[in-house]
Chains A and B, each alone.
Chain A
Amino acid sequence: GESVGLHLPTLSVQEGDNSIINCAYSNSASDYFIWYKQESGKGPQFIIDIRSNMDKRQGQRVTVLLNKTVKHLSLQIAATQPGDSAVYFCAENSGAGSYQLTFGKGTKLSVIP
């Protein structure tokens, strides 16, 4: 399995700038994808999801892009705020109707005030 140990990929952005977090997923049969945000000492918190029949979905300040050809997912955060600082995980549903999520490695986003 994948292991990144203690060294998560890190993205540092200036407050007010846009952030883009990327994720490569593993299963071409996955039909549903979620981005979660995890703050220190807390459980993952849902941000946005997308189904495989879509290539883009927008929420409040967030956009998820899905490229099935290269099995790539991205999360765009507009006007990044200090409260956005956290670890971000993408997850894919590879369990069909049973919704079993496989999580990616995570990216730590640090917002510079």
Chain B
Amino acid sequence: EAGVAQSPRYKIIEKRQSVAFWCNPISGHATLYWYQQILGQGPKLLIQFQNNGVVDDSQLPKDRFSAERLKGVDSTLKIQPAKLEDSAVYLCASKAGGSGEQFFGPGTRLTVL
């Protein structure tokens, strides 16, 4: 079974630029999550989707972050404009219905200069 795919793996941008991350969850997983992991800390949930609907985006900084999952499969997370404090690893995870286990992708490491 293929795991959660994310791209790009690494991205370096300057502050005030825009950036987008892509996630392809495990086939058949209806629930998709985006997390932000700052160096030395645990992942922090940004947004949760169930199919193409948002379950919770209470921790998403909506003035600069946006996410979508238009067809209930792939998802994109965008930051516009980026700030220095957005430097982190952005992790995507997916989950099958009825199970608590979240499967994580390898993450995208973002560096904002």
**Chain A residues within CB distance 8 Å of chain B:** 1-8, 32, 34, 36, 41-46, 49, 89, 91, 93, 95, 98-106
Contact = CB atoms under 8 A, between A and B. Distances in A.
Contacts of B43: 44, 89, 101, 103
B61 interface: no
A53 to B, nearest CB: 13
A105 B38 CA distance: 11
Interface of B: 4, 31, 39-45, 48, 50, 55-56, 91, 93, 95, 100-107
Given A43-B91, A43-B107, A95-B56, A101 B40 contact: no
B42 A46 contact: no
A45 B106 CA distance: 10
A98 B104 contact: no
Contact of A100 (B41, B42, B48, B106): B48
Contacts of A36: 104
Contacts of A32: 100
A101 B41 contact: no
Contact of B101 (A6, A46, A105): A46
Contacts of B50: 98
Interface centre among A45, A49, A98, A104 (most CB of B within 10 A): A98
B91 A44 contact: yes
A91 B105 CA distance: 17
Contacts of A43: 4, 91, 93, 104-107
Contact of B55 (A8, A42, A98): A98
Nearest to B99: A99
B56 A100 contact: yes
B101 A103 contact: no
Task: List 9 tightest A-B contacts by C-beta distance, closest first.
Answer: A103-B42, A43-B104, A6-B40, A44-B104, A32-B100, A89-B42, A103-B43, A43-B106, A99-B100
A65 B104 CA distance: 24
B55 A101 contact: no
Contacts of B91: 43-44
B103 A46 contact: yes
A8 to B, nearest CB: 6
